[in-house]
A and B are shown apart, each in its own frame.
Chain A
Amino acid sequence: MNTTRTTRLLLLNLVALAILVAIAPNTQGADPFVAGGRSTRAVAVSRGQSDRALVRAAEVSKALGLPGATRNVARLDDRFEHRTYDEVTSFDGRGREVAITRLDLDGRVVMALVLGWQRGHGPAVNSAAAERLAAKHVAAAGLAVSGKPTIHASAGAGGWSVTWTRVVDGIAVPGDGVRVTLWSDGSFHGLARQERPLAAIPTSPISDADARSAAEAFIARRFAGYGSDALRLDSAELAWLASNDTWDAGRPDAPEGTLRLGWIVRFEATGALAERLRLVQVWVNAADRSILGGDVAE
């Protein structure tokens, strides 16, 4: 083999390797999220798509008062949250990140966030004012909310956390809705919107009593070593739920992307068990009494 041929082969291999590296982010986008890995990976975005995201981010920034002199955009495939969005990062005059705006591919706000920490420039507002101001910020972001939000003072959020949980035909969708964080003076800190797809409603959903019975049977089997009153049934509530791996390690590491109708049956631990485990939820599929997943508070 002569040197020219060797060089050509080497170059061909390098080109093949470069192609593999270039397409890797896109081909792996369909892979499920695995714990320990990143949730997001960058995917290709065209010049036109990038420009549209930057224009929309500028509009959102103006409406919410987000800082930033310059912006850049990355399209991210989020395998943990099962969605793709444009993340626009804003920079100040010294090139430091000062805000993040995430936009759905149709331009709707997924998240807006002012970076940095401030104690607020004005006097602290009360809960009622926080609710009013949060609603104003939601409207400014071009989003709509209804109903009474859950409000709590939050040191980590900078002042207040205001959450409107999504409700569909009278049934709550925990985790979906709009969450706004405010500085203590009521000024804007952050906002997030989540609206996951819902599966079809079962034709004949199981009753509250059926769900309690299925959950109690599950608990009795799983916690057989404890007395019958170690976990006391507290409540049962119909909700749209993302199936998870709380009770089944074989399921994916990220919650399911499409929500299913189910009953949240809640138990409270008592006695010695409560020293390790405070509360337990068993999620019962409203279609067939199967276990969709659950939750624990340790």
Chain B
Amino acid sequence: MSRARSWRRSIPPLLAAVLLMSLAGTAVRAAYPASVDVNKTAFNPPCDGDLNAIVPKMQQAAVAAYNRLGHVTTAFTGAGFTRANTLKRTITDWGYYVHSHGDYYWHAADARRYTGFREDSGDCSQAVIYSKDIKAKRAGRQSNLVFISTCHASDAVTTMPGAFAIAKTKEIVGTQGPEFYTGYIGVQWDTDEWIFEQRFWNALANNKSVGAAFDTAMLGNFAHAGFDADWWGTYHWSGRAGPWTVCSTCS
């Protein structure tokens, strides 16, 4: 048998192997969905008079980052990012990113405040999604990486980590599990948030742990000296989707 013929014979099994590997990868990834909710409407016409180019960039960066971490990531905005849709999806989400207007909102029925953020809904009347709403839907289910890209998401009083069953503790080793929550303290500017997020995603892409990625992001060239963010979860965790994965070189 000639060598060329031998090559040709090996092509079908090679193709089959590649196909099987890609299918296997899809099957694994499908188990860990992530949602990226981005409120474009509030910061674009008709609600604002102008296009805000930073928000779509944040969405693109977050989708790519969650995909790199092994999630099957879907982005929602406009009428796709409503309170009802978010609460429906959160039941099965392992990862979650949101960029919107956030605050420590008063909840009249409960006569107390909860951390929350506004839906997009495609119009200028945007309901608040309170942490208590998410908490009720998730019912203590484990989360992976949760990035609440809103003002006040990581204030000391924040109630949002608990909605994702992430305790407000900082662990070096794995006692807290493969989970990490991050967000901003107080009111922050979009350009600083964009710098923080790109540095964070890039460090994760370069196989840094979530904690190391946060620390690297915190040393960005922020235009406002008062920039601040905080985190809770497991510093050493690789950020990979799903239950524990080992990162042998992570700090």
Chain A residues at the B interface, C-beta cutoff of 8 Å: 3, 6-7, 10, 35-40, 80-81, 91, 95-98, 100, 111, 113, 115-117, 149-150, 152, 154-157, 161, 163, 165, 174-176, 179, 181, 189-192, 194, 196, 221-226, 244-249, 251, 253-255, 273, 275-279, 281, 295-298
Contacts and interface: CB of A to CB of B under 8 A. Distances in A.
Question: What's the interface size class on B, roughly?
Answer: 35 or more
A115 B189 contact: no
A202 B42 CA distance: 37
Interface centre among A149, A196, A296 (most CB of B within 10 A): A296
Contact of A255 (B52, B56, B191): B191
Nearest to A190: B219
B98 to A, nearest CB: 12
A195 to B, nearest CB: 10
Nearest to B248: A95
Interface string B197-208: 011001001101
A4 B106 CA distance: 78
Nearest to B103: A275
Interface in B1-44: 2-4, 7, 42-43
Contact of A38 (B7, B151, B206, B226): B206
A150 B53 contact: no
A163 B54 contact: no
Q: Which 3 A-B pairs have the closest CB atoms?
A: A115-B251, A150-B225, A192-B219
Interface of B: 2-4, 7, 42-43, 46-54, 56-58, 60-61, 63-64, 100-101, 118, 124, 126, 150-151, 154, 156, 170-172, 185, 187-191, 195, 198-199, 202, 205-206, 208-209, 211-212, 214-216, 218-226, 228-231, 235, 248-251
Nearest to B170: A117
A246 B223 contact: no
A174 B228 contact: no
A235 B198 CA distance: 29
A80 B48 CA distance: 28
A96 B60 CA distance: 31
Contacts of B100: 298
Contacts of A255: 191, 195
A223 B235 contact: no
Contact of A225 (B49, B151, B215): B49
Contacts of B250: 96-97
B215 A113 contact: yes
A102 to B, nearest CB: 9
Contact of B251 (A38, A98, A253, A296): A98
B172 A279 contact: no
A179 B219 contact: yes
B92 to A, nearest CB: 24
Contacts of B231: 156
B251 A97 contact: yes
A175 to B, nearest CB: 4
A221 B48 CA distance: 11
Max chain A C-beta neighbours (<10 A), residue from B4, B7, B154: B4
Given A113-B215, A117-B235, A192-B221, A297 B228 contact: no
